Amino acid sequence: MHKRDFIRTLGAASLGLLFGDALWARYAALPPQELAQDEAFWERIRRAYLITPEYVNLENGYYLMQAQPVLEAFVGHVRDINRQASRYMRTRQFDDKAAVRDRLARMAGVPPAELIITRNTTESLDTVIGGFPWQPGDEAVMAEQDYGAMLDMFRLQARRVGIVNRVVSLPLDPRSDDEIVRLYEGAITPRTRLLMVCHMVNITGQILPVAKIAAMAHAHGVQVMVDGAHSFAHIEFAVPDLNGDYFATSLHKWLGAPLGAGLLHVRQERIAALWPTFADLSKADDDILKLNHTGTHPVHTDLAIADALDFHEAIGIRRKEARLRFLQHYWTDRVRGAPGVTLNTPADPARSCGIANVGVAGLAPAALADALFTRYGIWTVAIDGAGVRGVRVTPHLFTSTAELDALVRALRELAA
């Protein structure tokens, strides 16, 4: 990324002001791993966010606040569309949305005709689960550590159609990728039709070897649906690398788009068999837009996805991933092995990135989250289920090492 691009995309009034030419040239030349540890650089990025002084937000996994340039652009879209009203909807809405979709498709590395903009991962994955041409007795495979809404959607198909759900439980520190692949394979039978797998498990931050799992599943004739809620715009990959049939994410998470933005990718040859949730019979069976008929919706949100992409691309996914992994290890390395502290995140650095989960002996997860917030002003979320007991800690680009020092101190005191 050249400095000029950085400024063009973010506007002279925003991030561009934070870097002079010479300074940016110096930063841009640094390898991402080195830049990841340069607090002065990230302090400038932090200034692009309006951060509450009331508490330290280490729960950015639910959704990510918009950076100020994105927020300002979003508000501009709200005003603009309010002014143009139905004329906008009747003349420009669909072309504008298609242009944003094209940019997302480029980022995802998929053909635009295989991608739709949705409201979130839930809508995207449930569109697949609910629209899958299930027959009674068909089977699906998933993990206990998958997201609750999707697990419920599979349970709904069990009630409604009579499918059978087979649920595995993921080991946090597998000896190898193969152990995980074999675990999923053990749940496959001749009746299995669909396997759901998280790219990054939300409660532990564990990154799964999705491409290997998908290769195994395909060898058994099983389709693969990837929950990428936490991986997209967090770690570097292209959707086809994962080798799945379906991929979904929420853009209000790691991309920092406004709330209510997500995407669904369906491989072209899988589109025709899916039943839409909401009918739009004007679309051909193999047109992915048949899955995207949600009626009149907040189009300004769709537009602001492009602004979030500008911000994300200006920083660059390699720099972002390196910083997020650095931040996670900054604090986990300081408490891993400390008496009374349990990390519920893989020890292998390749199996996690920004998200980690920590438990303290003698404190229920809710009590730990409460103590962190009320005594130390640190906001996290309690996780108590699927074999995971602790609080999830999710820093972001604006998180400073000083804030993580405070977390480390708090954990050590609480564990003592």
Ligand X SMILES: Cc1ncc(COP(=O)(O)O)c(C=O)c1O
Q: HEC string of 344-361?
A: CCCCCHHHCCCCEEEEEC
CA-CA-CA-CA torsion for 228, 250, 97, 210, nearest 10 degrees?
0
Please state, in angstroms and rounded to a whole number, the distance separating the CA atoms of residues 347 and 130. Answer: 36
Residue nearer to ligand X on the CB measure, 223 or 250: 250
Nearer to ligand X, 93 or 122 (CB): 122
Please identify which residue in 231, 250, 357, 399 interacts with ligand X, judged by CB under 6 A.
250
* Cβ atoms of residues 382 and 203 within 8 Å: no
Closest CB to ligand X among residues 202, 345: 202
In the bound complex, what is the minimum distance in angstroms from residue 47's beta carbon to ligand X? Answer: 27
147, 203 in Cβ contact below 8 A?
A: no
Q: Is 59 in the site for ligand X (CB under 6 A)?
A: no
Instruction: Identify which range of 100-108, 114-122, 185-193, 375-383 contacts ligand X by CB under 6 A.
Output: 114-122
Q: What is the DSSP letter of 206?
A: P
Comparing CA positions, the residue from 230, 161, 170 lying closest to residue 194 is 161
Q: Per CB under 6 A, does 198 bind ligand X? A: yes
CA dist 35 and 27 (Å) reads: 7
Nearest to ligand X of 9, 204 (CB atom): 204
Q: Which of 14, 93, 127, 202 binds ligand X (CB under 6 A)?
A: 202
Please name the residues in contact with 192: beta carbons below 8 A apart, sequence gap of 6 or more. 138, 139, 140, 141, 166, 220, 222
Q: Which CB, 255 or 414, lies closer to ligand X? A: 255
| Count of residues that interact with ligand X, criterion CB under 6 A | 11
Fill in the amino acid letter for 163. I
Q: Which residue has the tokens 């920590």?
A: 358
Q: Which is nearer to ligand X, 7 or 353 (CB)?
A: 353
Candidate list 9, 14, 60, 120; residue touching ligand X; CB under 6 A: 120
Rounded to a whole number of angstroms, the minimum distance from the CB of residue 230 to ligand X is: 6
Please report whether residue 230 would count as binding ligand X according to CB under 6 A. Answer: yes
Q: Which residues bind ligand X (CB under 6 A)?
A: 120-122, 147, 149, 198, 202, 227, 229-230, 250
